[in-house]
Amino acid sequence: HCIVFPLLGLNLYDHMKSHNYTPFPMRDLRPIAYQMMECLAFLRRHRILHCDLKPENILLYPGTRNKVSVIDFGSACMENERVYTYIQSRFYRSPEVML
């Protein structure tokens, strides 16, 4: 038995960096945002916290401008379970998480 994963491309941060941080056009941003909301709703229904959601953990499918996949569930945990004292990458933490 083996698990087969799709080959994914650049993450959102690297994509933006390679395009001189030009914002995504709205025609591409809407489907990306919709997929992200679908992902977060799925995780919420299953009481899963990602704990490290950031542009580097959102990958684009090769050959597309607006199809994405969320990766890196290494810090994820169940809603009422405290596995790590570390939550989120430092540069993406909100002030209330830092307190």
Please give the positions annotated as active site: 52
Residue 42 to residue 48: CA distance in whole angstroms: 9
Q: 94: which 2 tokens?
A: 């909100």
Three-class DSSP labels, 33-92? HHHHHHHHHHHHHCCEECCCCCHHHEEECCCCCCCEEECCCCCCEECCCCCCCCCCCHHH
